[in-house]
Structure 1
């Protein structure tokens, strides 16, 4: 009943249970070349393959059931569907489904179409100080801090505001030299006075204090230490009576009118990134508010562990609502990419080795095809190759169809591997079910 069931020993048919009968050996081939053999010799390789491209009939639910003629599946009773096997094309096997199965699987499709994809990246970042707006206050000579005006970190200061006073013997000595230079006459006085004045400036003595010394003719024991910029005192090590040297950082002042936001961008997203792109930011601490900024700098190397690129953004912060170390949600905009072929993101099957979609060929026929994807934005992805505009792809149920196609391909490869020894005249071996 099932001539495809062939074994090397007696037994019963695994499908119908009938006893197997001995098969007579085929008659010896006629050594004389026949007319058909002569015609085959004249065929090209493609023509010869086309003549042997016989239809096969497979069960949609049990792809291991393959027959040469129409019928029904001995396992589930479904009608076998025609399947053309073409080893020359290298395409993956088609899968045929009845309307009832399509409805049961919930298969939905969408068309590949051309349109515009907006380039943008959503990421998270961290607010930091703008390092170009940090000021570190050091003394220019060794001495002692007196009359400290600040009492704690976090106090706001204005440029020129007095922070403390410093008694430094070297600065006092430079003041005396400046006054002595004024007692000289002629050109020599002018040169010596200018030299002494520059020394005082190098020691960070303010110009108004130098003019006061020049007017009164008296040196000052203590010189004011003033804030160089507007900002917030973020670090203060100075204390009343403390002895400091040129390496002592007495104060650190940060101008928070502009802040940096550091974000990490994945490797596959950096192709169109460049300095000057606009960015938008929200922070959980300030719900309902949005800040506009721009890409300021792309760092030169990727993190070897996370495979991300560090990118620096700048945002104005006039009301000081943004605080360093806050977390932020950031969107970087890169403009539109027009006339691209795109499909819904859920249509793409990503296995790690390939990307593919399932084409809907009509009449319940489906076929997986490999594609190359490009930019992905929201629920749409760009297709660089593998599809044409108007192709219909499966967006729901495609994983089951792809698995069925892979299973059929596996059985086809197994069948080819097992029949190969027989074709070469090796004989023996267990027969197989087609």
Structure 2
């Protein structure tokens, strides 16, 4: 007996719904089991095309590999903790291994989700960093992985391109990772006070640091003494006064000076009389009136008078005085022997002074001495003629000079020699008694690459500068050499011509701290 027609229609509807449900479940299941996290949608499409007939190998043989270079998503994590890059049935896991060794690439190939013997794949990896040429890694079999032939230097911030060949087919993968990198525009750098510089050649010296003190330049310091006893009638200068050569410092009344002046006046009178007598006797002798003997005696007397007058004048000149033109014979003017500053005054008006008393000290402070003890260990590198930099300990001031003298003898108590630097002091900053630090340039060498000392920052266990690449600043760990306080030699990590943050680079380090940069493999 035939079933009713409505019942047949219901069964057909149920069958259609069941088929649709099963098809939907199949689609969902296939999406969940498809390779995930490789970030290469083009790779998946190529795999499907291969299953349908065909063009998979031809697409991967395209050297441009544009679809594969556009890696956007983060690759999936592989069994060894690396980045798992997939293309259909084939996959390769990229790891950076650095436990007990220098960082190295280790690759693990897979086929259909299972480990593939490493000798069945030929892999080449190209690593691209900001501002640097591409680095190509070759791989060799080692145990159950392929080992790269070079160290992966820090920071691990780069773009990676992998080209693998298996069973005659070529596969290309790629991904990027950033580390110790921050983006800042030129306007932001300017606002933060960050200044850029270019790494390049510089003169770097090896220095020896000494503690010293500013002293008077003894070659330009004079003790002013009267050279005769007397009574002080006037004091015309005080300590701290700037005086000119020949300026009166004090006036003394001296009986000894009066005696000298009187002696000169008497000698001058005798000389005048002797000259008159000689001229008369010479005339009489020429006229045959008096004998030649009288003329010769007169000439001898005149010559003796000349000697007496010259001696009296020289005595006064030694005292720094000349006969007063109608003034007091006892007045003695004590004058400044050089241009300079009165640094000491030891006389008062009305005081009786001796001829050897140092009444004033006048020093030319346009140059000063800096004296610093040199230990036995440093004597081998400190010598006359070397460049030296003098820095004040109490305020910001620096002067350049050269070592003019190193004592030949060691101090009995200090067991050190004394080095002396002559420093220009036109502005009067270097006052005697001021403590200073002396940096002696022991050796100076031209280096091919150097950076400013203030640019170097500590980041993790690195010494870094922050290289500038377009709008990005990235840490560049450096291998450092010699330094002299202004520049530091770069042995590795930065090339000549690269720009870097030279001033206020700590701002970049602070920005990295805010970004929470991690060590990514």
| Interval containing the TM-score (normalised by the shorter chain) | 0.3 to 0.5
Whose relative contact order is higher, 1 or 2, with alpha carbons under 8 Å and at least 6 apart? 1
TM-score when scaled to structure 2? 0.40
Whichever of the two has the greater Rg, that structure is: 2
TM-score when scaled to structure 1? 0.48
Larger strand proportion of the pair: 2
